[in-house]
Chain A
Amino acid sequence: MALNIDVIKAGLETSVQDFPGRYGFWEQGFPPSGPFDMWSFRLANILVGNAPEAAGLECQFMGPTLKFSDDCVIAFTGAEMNATLDGETFPMWESVAVAAGQTLACGFASVGARAYLAVSGGIEVPQVLGARATFHMAGVGGLEGHALKDGQSIAVNGGAGVPGRKVKQDCRPKIANGKQWQIEVVQGPNDDWIAEEGIERFLESEWKLQARSNRTGYRLEGPEWIFADKASNKGPEHGEHPSNILDHGYPVGSINLCGQTPIILVNDAPSAGGFINPFTVPSAAFWKLAQSKPNDIYRFNRVSVEEAQEMRRGIDGLCVEDSIE
């Protein structure tokens, strides 16, 4: 059952991703890439009977229009993309049988920002550097190294899926349009470069997600940061600005302070550089970032390493068959 999906309209930056993304090449400069909202992505795969890691599509803000060449079972999770199948409303969080020749069309996301499409059998693109995840900056992985383009064709492995499966309500991420988010954050690694006053200010302030944000970095707008002494009393090799530090690796999720601009480093961000990271957004909060829209407001909620790990375990525990009814 060789299936092809024709890309009638590519949508805004739709790409092939797999979970957990690309590992083993970080020290050669390759970020993990992979799905931004790992919770929604895995559930989509489980709905159609795939392993949670199988390659699927990540749709951002405006989803694609796709035509299926053969029968299959698909599922759409994450943001509400107002999708239709041959004109009929297409349900989210549910596995649906698609017949050969049918077309799935998406509009703009009305709730949340990123949606995930899984197809029974999983998307078949070559593995590059160990993963199918797309890293567009280097043209690696996915469909020819980049986001989908109109007119392309995506191969899908044959796979049997069962339609009519639904994700239980309380097993889904609570994606809403409130525009206000509480984002968990772990203090460190370079929190000692910020004055006590600055730490408090960060945690007590509202931060606005700027429009110029994407999978490479989430730029935040907010008050000025206050630096500790050590940020100015340092060797010349660190650089002049208090936020400059001798080049070091960047944990994924770091809140990277470039001058006075904090940028959350997410899936496609550079692996290292010369700015400090006073706080880090943990894995469990990534779905919130993924489902935010420009101008959303963040308030950061400090948690410990152990608490953050517990939260992640909690989400992992929901990306299982038991979450399906």
Chain B
Amino acid sequence: MIYDEPKFLPGGDRFIEMELGDELNFDLNFLVHSLSAKIREAEIAGLIELLPNMASIVISYDPDLISFADLKSEILSHYRNMGSLEDMELLSPIYYIPVLYCDHVTRACWEDYCAKITEKEYDSDILVQLNDLDGYAQLARIHSGTEYWVAALGFYPGLASLIALDPRCRLTAPKYNPPRTWTAKGTIGYGGSVTCVYPANTPGGYQMIGHTPVPVCDIEQSLPAFKQDLALLRPGDRVRFFPVGREEYDYIESRVTAGDYVHNVAHYAKFSIRAYHEWLGTLDMKERF
């Protein structure tokens, strides 16, 4: 639920956790990012950094310049002046990312986990069973059948948490227990009701359902898409995955290696909350892709 009044919780001497609600809810996340944008614009003296996430914002501040109470009060007044969620719009770029589903890379990673840590069912099988799907083809069709909203960045540089905008495409998946000690960079993960692209070879716990050769984080900022930012995705962006076969996957990988891969991003549509709610109302929730 979205709280009537956001909670301001202290985090030591120089952090505040502002909780706007307690669920994974697109509206709530949109509110989080709209408020973050507004707070940033306000340039409050003493406010150092903002860390927006699913339903909360962690704020770091300099207590020599502003007190907990004053900062809370300023942020609250911005929150109250936000206007209705329905009226909000956001220019939101969309990234088209190719995926080889049920691929050889993540299969090898899963096999390694089974050999070294503990036996477990193949990840895509878990998703198919848990979500009552026909098979891998339907998994790919549903996973790639929706735009995803970048709800948060965090945990690791370049790691974006994505939530499905089309509720008919929301799946559920348990996490690895214990977690993996490594995940191949470019793995498409699914955990809880969130999907992600692993930006580097990191430990992880999401089920692995596919792989993309396209980089989403480039600390050296060498590829053109990373000239402004080392992470491809920002909260408020959208992602659309599209299935490719092995041949196309190999081709794309070769372009990435050659350094001339061109990321596919369209940046000219305004995401409208009102229109989104209206569109949700038109969907037949019983139907599936």
Among the stretches A51-59, A61-69, A200-208, A272-280, the one at the interface with B is A272-280
- Closest chain-A Cβ to B101's Cβ sits at a distance in Å of 24
The answer to whether A186 has its CB under 8 Å from any CB of chain B is: yes
C-alpha gap A235/B2 in the complex (Å): 13
The answer to whether A179 has its CB under 8 Å from any CB of chain B is: no
Interface size classification for chain B: 35 or more
Q: Per a CB cutoff under 8 Å, which of A128, A247, A306 touches B152?
A: A247
- Closest chain-B Cβ to A318's Cβ sits at a distance in Å of 15
Q: For residue A306, which residues in chain B have a CB less than 8 angstroms away from its CB?
A: 68
Contact indicator B230/A28 (Cβ below 8 Å): yes
Q: For residue B23, which residues in chain A have a CB less than 8 angstroms away from its CB?
A: 235, 237, 246
For A27, A190, A246, A249, which residue has the most chain B Cβ atoms within 10 angstroms? A249
For B63, B154, B161, which residue has the most chain A Cβ atoms within 10 angstroms? B154
The tally of CB-CB contacts under 8 A between chains A and B is: 159
- Closest chain-B Cβ to A249's Cβ sits at a distance in Å of 3
A interface residues (Cβ-Cβ under 8 A, vs B): 23-30, 128-129, 137-140, 186-191, 234-235, 237-239, 246-254, 270-274, 277, 280-284, 305-306, 308-309, 311-313, 316
- Closest chain-B Cβ to A324's Cβ sits at a distance in Å of 22
Q: For residue B64, which residues in chain A have a CB less than 8 angstroms away from its CB?
A: 313, 316
For B158, B200, B219, which residue has the most chain A Cβ atoms within 10 angstroms? B219
- Given A247-B54, A251-B58, A270-B154, is A29 in contact with B12 using a C-beta cutoff of 8 Å? no
B interface residues (Cβ-Cβ under 8 A, vs A): 9-17, 19, 22-24, 48-58, 60, 63-64, 68, 152-159, 161, 175, 192-194, 200, 219, 229-231, 235
Contact indicator B152/A234 (Cβ below 8 Å): no
Determine the main DSSP class of A at the interface with B: mixed
- Given A237-B192, A247-B54, A248-B17, is A28 in contact with B11 using a C-beta cutoff of 8 Å? no
For B15, B48, B229, which residue has the most chain A Cβ atoms within 10 angstroms? B15
Contact indicator B9/A190 (Cβ below 8 Å): yes
Q: Per a CB cutoff under 8 Å, which of A129, A237, A273 touches B230?
A: A129
Show 27 A/B contacts (Cβ-Cβ < 8 Å), sorted by A. Answer: A23-B48, A26-B51, A27-B51, A27-B153, A28-B230, A128-B219, A139-B219, A187-B10, A188-B9, A235-B23, A239-B192, A247-B154, A249-B51, A249-B56, A251-B14, A251-B15, A251-B58, A270-B155, A270-B156, A272-B154, A280-B15, A282-B13, A283-B13, A283-B14, A309-B14, A311-B13, A313-B64
